[in-house]
Chains A and B, each alone.
Chain A
Amino acid sequence: MQAVYIYGIVGFPPEFPCRIQGLGGNPVRLLPQGDVAAVVSPSPLSPWPLDEAHVTLHETVVEDVMGNRPILPVRFNTLLGTAEAVIALLAQRAQVFRSALERVAGKVEMGLRILWQPVEEPEVSPDQEIQERGPGAEYLYWRLKEERGRSRVRAEGERLIHALQAPLFSLAVERCLHPFPTERLLLTAAFLVDRDRVDAFRKRAAKVREDFPHLRFLLTGPWPPYHFVNGTEDNKR
């Protein structure tokens, strides 16, 4: 097995103190280049099945390593043909990796999703005058109502998001917000939080939950900093 499966990027040294098993039961180790290293295991050169067992194992490796040091998680099924290719990659992107590692050192990601049920406006039929003008006018009436309804809902959503932000932002070093990702989701957010502020963050989120009883909250974490590896993208794409 010449090819290399990559789980993440870490700083180097230190060497790898633990014995972790990766995909296929293959041993996880570090491939260092200068002051950064890739967390890898040997692999055949073909994608691993996208199923719960493999995805969970990948994540477990990343989290196990994170227990000891900062890590930049890499996407599932990232394979390089040879160790040399990995070294070359590290050399090429050492600077961005180093900066990103500094940014996430001592911090974890907390995920938040908020479900909502925007209140529907009661349907008001067009008045006599519009009805008399014919089907075209009626059609436009309903379109305009629909558009106004959407704007109203969006404005209400934005107000809510704004109100929710303040209590949570102060406990996070960074955040990544995605408003209205779907019809039922008001917000999907990721927060970069100091490890020792995670409990405070959880408590604060619980308080926010109480303050907004009509919203449904899903708080997850701590995660490796998946949303906060900015700057590490391949610029060639």
Chain B
Amino acid sequence: MPADLEPGAAEHRITLLETLDRVLNKGVVIAGDVTISVADVDLIFVGLRLLLSSVETARDLRTGRDF
């Protein structure tokens, strides 16, 4: 923890970083199939993947998706 930050600010930043690490990288992954029908579009977004699209993910996401 940097000594120059007041205790409140440092704690706040740490809490946010810890939260981000968990909600973006951990927890249940729901990323199943994408079903596209003519009438509806079922889309599944996983926030992290949109941010850090791997090649594999980008390829999967590209298959006929409409967003």
Instruction: Give me the interface of A with B, judged by CB distance under 8 Å.
Output: 3, 6, 8-9, 45-48, 50, 52, 55-56, 58-59, 72-82, 85, 89, 92, 111, 216, 218, 220, 223-224, 226-227, 229, 232-234, 236-237
Within 25-40 of B, Cβ neighbours of A (below 8 Å) are at 25-33, 35, 40
Report whether A55 and B30 are in contact in the complex, using a CB–CB cutoff of 8 Å. Answer: no
A78-B44, A82-B42, A218-B1 known; A237-B31 Cβ under 8 A: yes
Please give, as numbers and ranges, the residues of chain B lying within 8 Å of A55 by CB-CB distance: 16, 19-20, 23
Which residues of B sit under 8 angstroms from A6, Cβ to Cβ?
Answer: 30
Interface size bracket, B side: 20 to 34
- Interface contact A89-B46, CB-CB below 8 Å: no
B53 within 8 A of A: no
Work out how many contacts link A and B, with CB atoms closer than 8 A: 113
The winner among B22, B43, B50 for most chain A CB atoms within 10 A is: B22
A52→B18 CA distance, assembly (Å) = 12
Contact A74 B28 (CB under 8 A): yes
Please name 9 pairs of A and B residues whose Cβ atoms are closer than 8 Å in the assembled complex, sorted by A. Answer: A8-B27, A48-B47, A55-B19, A73-B26, A74-B27, A79-B44, A223-B18, A226-B26, A229-B27
Taking the closest CB of chain A, its distance from the CB of B63, in whole angstroms, is: 13
For the complex, what is the distance from the CA of A78 to the CA of B31, rounded to whole Å?
A: 8
A interface, by DSSP: helix, strand, loop or mixed? mixed
Tell me which residues across on chain A come within 8 A of B18, comparing CB atoms: 111, 220, 223
User: Across the interface, do B48 and A75 meet the contact criterion of CB distance under 8 Å?
Assistant: yes
Whether the pair A47, B45 counts as a contact (CB closer than 8 A) is yes
Residues of chain A with a CB closer than 8 A to B42's CB: 80-82, 85
CB neighbours of B50 from chain A (8 A): 47, 77
CB-CB under 8 A from B43, the residues of chain A are 3, 45, 79-81
B58 at the interface (CB under 8 A from A): no
